[in-house]
Structures are given as structure tokens and as C-alpha cells.
């Protein structure tokens, strides 16, 4: 199949257990919980999204006709990113890492693309809303539940819940099979309040940990 990618960029993962780790972010076009158009937001299942995942016009974005073509673009972005930062992508300690995000990446990330990324030497992570079954063999699964959307993916490495969501309280997810449970304060004008609420919840419910967006602290998008 062909893959539609909004943007490909080299950055630091800012959230969750891999926070601070260099990565290529592959942002796939499209989501099953919102069209991405403002006029549809009120009727969407997920209404607080702040990500542009429409089209293929971002940096490094485009249509990729084969898994190998997209994997090669990811590899080039990694090499260019490490090189531009003054490092060497051939260092044996610089294990290439790609975070597949969106939009909803599992609408497109399939077994052939996963195989192509692995063949290119990448450790492959996904950040998903959990409503779509993944291919086998992903190296890191982060599920971020949204509103009332039913989860198909109830196990993985980390569950990262944007907090607060009136119709998605943490108690609905704390029994699921994840290694890490993170609360990420809702971005926006009430973010300070959300931070305090999330911190208070984590202190009262120790399996949950506070997750701040460290990439924004250092000035990345
Ligand atoms: S599920 Fe994620 S990408 Fe889709 S609309 Fe919600 S926040 Fe945005």
C-alpha cells in the first residue's frame, strides 16, 4: 500500500518513559477520531487535538509508494538529524529510533512497513489512540485513550492519558496490562490547573506518574 505522511522530523521524544531520547517522528496523515477540520471538531469523538495531521505538506511529508521508500526516508532523516547535531549516525551506540505517530498511525503502519523499518535498523515505537489493532512485533507501544472511544489495544508498554478528560477517568484504565501509567496534563489555557490536578492524582494513586512535555520546555514543537 502507499503511505501518506504529514511530516518526518528529527527531534527528542518529549513524553513518557523514553522522554529525552533522540528520534525521528513519522507523523501519518489522518485519524479515525476526528477529521482534522475545525468545522467537525464539535461532533468528533476526540475534541481537544492540537495536532495538524491533514495532508502531506509538512517537512519531509509526502506519499510513499512502498514500505522501503518510507523506511529509506526515515533513515535519511535520522542520518541528517544526527549529523546536523554534530554526531555520527554510524556510532554503534546510536540505535536508530522512530516514533510512528499521527493522526492515528495504526491506520497505515502495517507489517510490511514495520519489517522495512526493522530492516533499516530502527527500533520502532507507536503512539496510538488504541482503537486499531497493531501489527505484531512493535518495539514500543504507547496507548493514549481518547474520550469514550473503545480500546482494542489493552496492553503495551505505556498508557499515557491526557488529563483531565471528563469521560475518560484514569480508573477506567488502571487495571490494563501496561508497564507504565502516565497522566499528561491537558494543554491549553487551563494547563496550570490541569498540572496541579494531575500531580494530585498521581500522589494519591502511585501507579500513575506525571508526564510533562519536556520537548516544549526546551523549545521544540
Ligand atoms: S486521537 Fe490523537 S490525532 Fe486523533 S484527533 Fe485525538 S489527539 Fe488528534
Here the CATH number for the domain that contains residue 59 is 3.20.20.70
**Catalytic center residues:** 25, 31, 46, 49-51, 127, 215
Establish if 138 belongs to a structural domain.
Answer: yes
Ligand 1: residues whose CB is within 6 Å? Answer: 31, 33-34, 46, 49, 51, 53, 102-104, 129, 146
Distance between Cα 51 and ligand 1 center (Å): 7
Distance between Cα 92 and ligand 1 center (Å): 35
> How many domains, in total, are found in the chain?
1
Establish if 110 belongs to a structural domain.
Answer: yes
Establish if 57 belongs to a structural domain.
Answer: yes
Question: What cell was used for 219?
Answer: 523549545
Which residue numbers in the chain have pLDDT < 50?
none
Residue ranges making up the domain that contains 155: 3-162
Establish if 178 belongs to a structural domain.
Answer: no
Establish if 202 belongs to a structural domain.
Answer: no
Establish if 43 belongs to a structural domain.
Answer: yes
Helix or strand run (H / E) with residue 69 = helix 67-84
Percentage of the residues of the chain whose pLDDT score is greater than 90: 89
Q: Could you report the per-residue pLDDT of 137-193, keeping only the tens digit for each?
A: 999 999 999 999 999 999 999 999 999 999 999 999 999 999 999 999 998 888 899
Establish if 148 belongs to a structural domain.
Answer: yes
Q: What are phi and psi of 70, to 5 degrees?
A: -70, -40
Strand partners, 11: 23
Looking at residue 89, its pLDDT comes to 85
Helix or strand run (H / E) with residue 210 = strand 208-210
Establish if 94 belongs to a structural domain.
Answer: yes
Looking at residue 215, its pLDDT comes to 85
Looking at residue 189, its pLDDT comes to 81
Collapsed DSSP state (helix, strand, coil) of residue 187:
coil
Q: CA–CA separation, 129 vs 144, rounded Å? A: 5
Residue where the block lists cell 555520527: 88
Amino acid at each position: 500500500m502507499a503511505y501518506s505522511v504529514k511530516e518526518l522530523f528529527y527531534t527528542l521524544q518529549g513524553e513518557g518513559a523514553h522522554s529525552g531520547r533522540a528520534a525521528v517522528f513519522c507523523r501519518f496523515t489522518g485519524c479515525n477520531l476526528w477529521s482534522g477540520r475545525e468545522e467537525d471538531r464539535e461532533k468528533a469523538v476526540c475534541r481537544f487535538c492540537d495536532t495538524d495531521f491533514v495532508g502531506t505538506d509538512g517537512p519531509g511529508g509526502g506519499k510513499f509508494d512502498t514500505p522501503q521508500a518510507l523506511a529509506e526516508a526515515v533513515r535519511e532523516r535520522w542520518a541528517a538529524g544526527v549529523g546536523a547535531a554534530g554526531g555520527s549516525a554510524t556510532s554503534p551506540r546510536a540505535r536508530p529510533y522512530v516514533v510512528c505517530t499521527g493522526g492515528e498511525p495504526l491506520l497505515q503502519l502495517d507489517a510490511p512497513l514495520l519489517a522495512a523499518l526493522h530492516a533499516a535498523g530502527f527500533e520502532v515505537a507507536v503512539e496510538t489512540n488504541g482503537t486499531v489493532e497493531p501489527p505484531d512485533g512493535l518495539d514500543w507501544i504507547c496507548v493514549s485513550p481518547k474520550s469514550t472511544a473503545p480500546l482494542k489495544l489493552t496492553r503495551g508498554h505505556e498508557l499515557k492519558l491526557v488529563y483531565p478528560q471528563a469521560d475518560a477517568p484514569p480508573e477506567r484504565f488502571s487495571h490494563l496490562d501496561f508497564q507504565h501509567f502516565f497522566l499528561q496534563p491537558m494543554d491549553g489555557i487551563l494547563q496550570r490547573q490541569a498540572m496541579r490536578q494531575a500531580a494530585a492524582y498521581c500522589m494519591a494513586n502511585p501507579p500513575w506518574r506525571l508526564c510533562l512535555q519536556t520537548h516544549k520546555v526546551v523549545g521544540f514543537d
